[in-house]
């Protein structure tokens, strides 16, 4: 297939690997965008999910709001934000944070809410304070489910960060938009492969992280996908 060979040629062309706008630079931009987005989304969604799951209050609101957020089209938010706030990094990153929050929030909440009440009662009976119950019992038990949500969000963010190129930003989407403009399919297909590699690598890193932070007591549990 000459399409695949074209893609291979583009990927192996040394001029595509050096200088500004080259593959390593674009990959770094892509990773930086996704990293910042995931950091902000985790900082917003995890504490909120823990709080709601721990207290049991506002669960309906959280589920409803994340459902509505999921329905928001990222392209619409991206264009609207950049029109209202001007060009720059903030509008696309904000749009991607809104994309990443719902899966993390619902997974964290579900992880905490699904902890067996008997286990929490046992912890309380042992004299643990509410903070200790949260930190030593609920968080470790909820971690596999919450990490599932974070991995899910990371996949979506890395895939969707390509759209940021639509409003003249960098990242691997640049090749897609620029390639589309001149119908250069080798370049577009090449960028597709790079995004997929990035997504799989990120998922592998997060899976390793999940294993590393999992409490030994639940490491053999089947909750991990």
Can residue 115 be called a binding residue for another protein (CB under 8 A)? no
Q: Shortest approach of another protein to residue 7 CB, angstroms?
A: 10
* Residues 148 to 167 in contact with another protein, rule: CB under 8 A: 155, 158-160, 162-163, 166-167
Please count the other Cβ atoms lying within 10 Å of the Cβ belonging to residue 210.
Answer: 18
- How far, in Å, CA of 225 to CA of 213, rounded? 15
Q: Where are the alpha helices (DSSP H) in the chain?
A: 2-12, 23-55, 59-71, 74-85, 90-113, 117-125, 130-132, 139-160, 173-181, 185-213
Residue of 32, 44, 192, 207 that binds another protein (CB under 8 A): 192
Can residue 4 be called a binding residue for another protein (CB under 8 A)? no
Q: Compute φ and ψ for 87, nearest 5 degrees.
A: -75, 165
Can residue 62 be called a binding residue for another protein (CB under 8 A)? no
For another protein, the closer CB: 137 or 145: 145
* Residues 202 to 221 in contact with another protein, rule: CB under 8 A: 203
Residue of 189, 206, 210, 214 that binds another protein (CB under 8 A): 189
- How far, in Å, CA of 103 to CA of 36, rounded? 17
Can residue 88 be called a binding residue for another protein (CB under 8 A)? no
Q: Shortest approach of another protein to residue 41 CB, angstroms?
A: 17
- How far, in Å, CA of 158 to CA of 38, rounded? 10
Nearest to 27 by CA among 203, 158, 184: 158
Residue of 57, 70, 211, 219 that binds another protein (CB under 8 A): 70
Q: Compute φ and ψ for 168, nearest 5 degrees.
A: 65, 30
Give the footprint of another protein on this chain (CB under 8 A). 3, 67-68, 70-80, 82-84, 155, 158-160, 162-163, 166-167, 173, 176-177, 179-180, 185, 188-189, 191-192, 195-196, 199-200, 203
């Amino acid at each position: 297939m000459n399409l695949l060979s074209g893609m291979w040629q583009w990927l192996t062309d040394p001029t595509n690997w050096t200088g500004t706008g080259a593959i390593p630079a674009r990959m770094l931009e892509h990773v930086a965008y996704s990293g910042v987005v995931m950091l902000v989304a985790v900082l917003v969604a995890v504490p909120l999910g823990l709080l709601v799951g721990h207290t049991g209050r506002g669960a309906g609101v959280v589920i409803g709001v994340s459902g509505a957020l999921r329905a928001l089209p990222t392209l619409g938010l991206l264009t609207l934000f950049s029109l209202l706030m001007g060009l720059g990094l903030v509008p696309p990153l904000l749009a991607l944070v809104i994309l990443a929050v719902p899966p993390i929030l619902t997974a964290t909440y579900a992880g905490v809410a699904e902890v067996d009440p008997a286990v929490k009662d046992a912890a309380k009976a042992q004299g643990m304070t509410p903070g200790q119950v949260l930190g030593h019992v609920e968080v470790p038990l909820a971690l596999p489910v919450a990490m599932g949500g974070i991995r899910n969000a990371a996949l979506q963010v890395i895939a969707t960060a390509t759209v940021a190129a639509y409003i003249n930003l960098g990242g691997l989407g640049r090749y897609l938009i620029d390639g589309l403009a001149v119908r250069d399919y080798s370049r577009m297909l090449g960028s597709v492969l790079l995004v997929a590699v990035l997504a799989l690598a990120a998922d592998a890193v997060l899976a390793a992280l999940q294993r590393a932070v999992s409490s030994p007591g639940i490491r053999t549990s089947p909750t991990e996908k």
